[in-house]
Chains A and B, each alone.
Chain A
């Protein structure tokens, strides 16, 4: 018993893929799928190694909605060992560490091959990952390889036994659909920032199982450069001052930066201002920019197009400053100020 490709003999599936002692007759018309598998995205910028926040949020949600076992998967070499304790503290019971130097870099094809193999072994009922750029690339590859469905960018998950109900917004949040999947594993990516950050259970323990990749399907990555300095990442801001096409004076950019600094927030923008060349794309909020999750989102001179609103769904409070009382941004605003964005920014800066 035990499978030969795992270390430590702690893997409890035998070759039939059934738990020990289970008769194969029981498998005739019922999938043995149970538990959840989560890809734990690791941020590694050469200096620091961290668990991605979205992975923590998913683990927190899973503990709330399911009592099944939670399997985690990480890819990379021995440097990831420092994360084990943290990963267990967020609720992972069994952690599969795919040990491979080359997998420190994101390799969707190889990650997928290993995940297919793991899913066949573990038979999870649910597979989840963050709807981060990498999660959104890896999840569909895995779903197609497993021949199962995928619901992208979920904002709510419910579980009934081992069956998952997935809820996601479409058309910039104007339609909310609840989706189910008739295959195991049921797969979803989860929009970062939607679920609250759970409290870690310090000292909680789990099992680590090492696995190795023997194939050679690696991508040839010629160069890789990190572009967001960890200190200016609008997706982490608690307060965002966001500027749009209604901003007429270039000076307002500096004014907004100054206000943001005083409030402990950051400055973001709509696509219109990226096109104007006033901001780099990393500051853009929306469908083709970033999803942001601030406590307060202040939109100055932003009309609120579907593409823009798609990025500010989970913002807790929206304040809109717009000259036009009919602008669609007001539909989602808690407070609408009908006025001139440039001059209100200036006054705010003076008062702070």
Chain B
């Protein structure tokens, strides 16, 4: 089997703080492998057989190699970074098209594609389904468990429905939850990863035109953005005496 995992590097959103005006303080916030992507990779590493190949691919700036390296430590055995100045500012459509071009050209014989359910930063959850549509294959979002025997079966969680489906080869799966007891890479994983080259591919290598990628290939445009100030009254109550606090709270809700 040949697995492809689409990964993204994101700022560690659990560590982003907000200043008093509601602006994000991004300085000093480390970049990490998106947690949902890590869940997806972990799922693949648990089901793979030793002879299977696990390819990770990420679109991003050269610094994204750090996250790709982490994927290699976690068990991937081939890695690509899609990087080009022209890719900057890509919306979901342009991103999915770039990833699709990679798959068509460099991994056309894959069996399954895995993604994180969403990226923890942008939170749009669109790349898996857009990529599946562009490749004209089936999609399985919110995957929680996968069983590979003669057939491939996946369990999906729609919050109000749990379903089990057969997965045809070529499908795209997005993974929504991770195992809290995920394996942590060891020293020998680290050394193994050091010996694998992360190949960088640019726009020309992917065979994409200027107007197919990045901000020029995007269909949506950000018109404006701002940090909202919360206009809550923000009353502060001393709760040292629990019964006094409870009385006040009840008055507020009733």
The answer to whether B123 and A170 touch across the interface, beta carbons within 8 angstroms, is yes
Docked CA distance A306–B73 (Å): 28
Within 8 A of A (CB), among B124-171: 124-134, 138-139, 141-142, 153, 158-166
Q: How far is the CB of B127 from chain A (nearest CB, A)?
A: 8
Main secondary structure of the interface of B (DSSP, over half): mixed
- Known A145-B133, A176-B226; contact A290-B220, beta-carbon cutoff 8 A: no
Q: Any chain B CB within 8 A of the CB of A338? A: yes
Give the most central of B23, B121, B161, B254: most A CB within 10 Å: B161
Q: Any chain B CB within 8 A of the CB of A296? A: yes
Docked CA distance A105–B133 (Å): 19
The answer to whether B158 and A106 touch across the interface, beta carbons within 8 angstroms, is yes
Interface string of A198-228 (1 = CB under 8 A from B): 0000000000000000000001111111111
Q: Any chain A CB within 8 A of the CB of B208? A: no
The answer to whether B159 and A287 touch across the interface, beta carbons within 8 angstroms, is no
Partner among A153, A178, A239 whose Cβ is within 8 Å of the Cβ of B123:
A153
Q: Any chain A CB within 8 A of the CB of B210? A: no
Partner among A224, A306, A338 whose Cβ is within 8 Å of the Cβ of B14:
A306
Partner among A138, A180, A224 whose Cβ is within 8 Å of the Cβ of B162:
A224
The answer to whether B232 and A334 touch across the interface, beta carbons within 8 angstroms, is yes
The answer to whether B14 and A344 touch across the interface, beta carbons within 8 angstroms, is no
Interface string of A157-181 (1 = CB under 8 A from B): 0000000010000111111111111
The answer to whether B249 and A344 touch across the interface, beta carbons within 8 angstroms, is yes
Docked CA distance A106–B16 (Å): 37
Complex interface: stretch among B1-9, B182-190, B234-242: B234-242
Q: Any chain A CB within 8 A of the CB of B233? A: yes
Interface string of A311-352 (1 = CB under 8 A from B): 000000011010001001011111111111001101110111
Q: How far is the CB of B77 from chain A (nearest CB, A)?
A: 28
The answer to whether B139 and A109 touch across the interface, beta carbons within 8 angstroms, is yes
Contacts of A298 in B (CB 8 A): 249, 253
Q: Any chain B CB within 8 A of the CB of A143? A: yes
The answer to whether B227 and A290 touch across the interface, beta carbons within 8 angstroms, is no
Docked CA distance A148–B134 (Å): 12
Closest residue of chain B to A230, judged by CB?
A: B160
- On A, residues with C-beta under 8 Å from B are 43, 105-106, 108-109, 112, 133-134, 136-145, 147-153, 165, 170-183, 219-228, 233, 239, 263, 275, 281-282, 287-288, 290, 296, 298, 305-307, 310, 318-319, 321, 325, 328, 330-340, 343-344, 346-348, 350-352
Docked CA distance A172–B118 (Å): 14
Partner among B24, B226, B237 whose Cβ is within 8 Å of the Cβ of A338:
B237
- Known A137-B139, A179-B223, A222-B166; contact A170-B122, beta-carbon cutoff 8 A: yes
The answer to whether B176 and A334 touch across the interface, beta carbons within 8 angstroms, is no
Q: Any chain A CB within 8 A of the CB of B250? A: yes
Contacts of B128 in A (CB 8 A): 140
Contacts of B228 in A (CB 8 A): 173-174, 176
- Known A144-B129, A180-B221, A335-B237; contact A225-B124, beta-carbon cutoff 8 A: no
Main secondary structure of the interface of A (DSSP, over half): mixed
Contacts of A105 in B (CB 8 A): 163
Q: Any chain A CB within 8 A of the CB of B219? A: yes
The answer to whether A150 and B92 touch across the interface, beta carbons within 8 angstroms, is yes
Docked CA distance A44–B196 (Å): 50
Partner among A179, A222, A239, A339 whose Cβ is within 8 Å of the Cβ of B220:
A179
Q: Any chain A CB within 8 A of the CB of B246? A: yes
Docked CA distance A179–B222 (Å): 4
The answer to whether A170 and B252 touch across the interface, beta carbons within 8 angstroms, is no
Q: How far is the CB of A265 from chain B (nearest CB, A)?
A: 9
Docked CA distance A340–B245 (Å): 10
The answer to whether B239 and A222 touch across the interface, beta carbons within 8 angstroms, is no
Docked CA distance A181–B24 (Å): 26
Docked CA distance A224–B224 (Å): 42
Q: Any chain A CB within 8 A of the CB of B91? A: yes
The answer to whether B138 and A143 touch across the interface, beta carbons within 8 angstroms, is no
What 10 A-B pairs are tightest by C-beta distance, nearest first? A339-B239, A149-B219, A347-B246, A149-B220, A144-B133, A140-B126, A144-B130, A140-B129, A177-B225, A343-B242
Contacts of B138 in A (CB 8 A): 109, 219
Could you show 9 A-B contacts with beta carbons less than 8 Å apart?
Answer: A138-B129, A150-B219, A220-B166, A224-B163, A307-B14, A321-B249, A334-B233, A337-B238, A351-B246
Docked CA distance A261–B242 (Å): 21
The answer to whether B161 and A227 touch across the interface, beta carbons within 8 angstroms, is yes
Q: Any chain A CB within 8 A of the CB of B13? A: yes
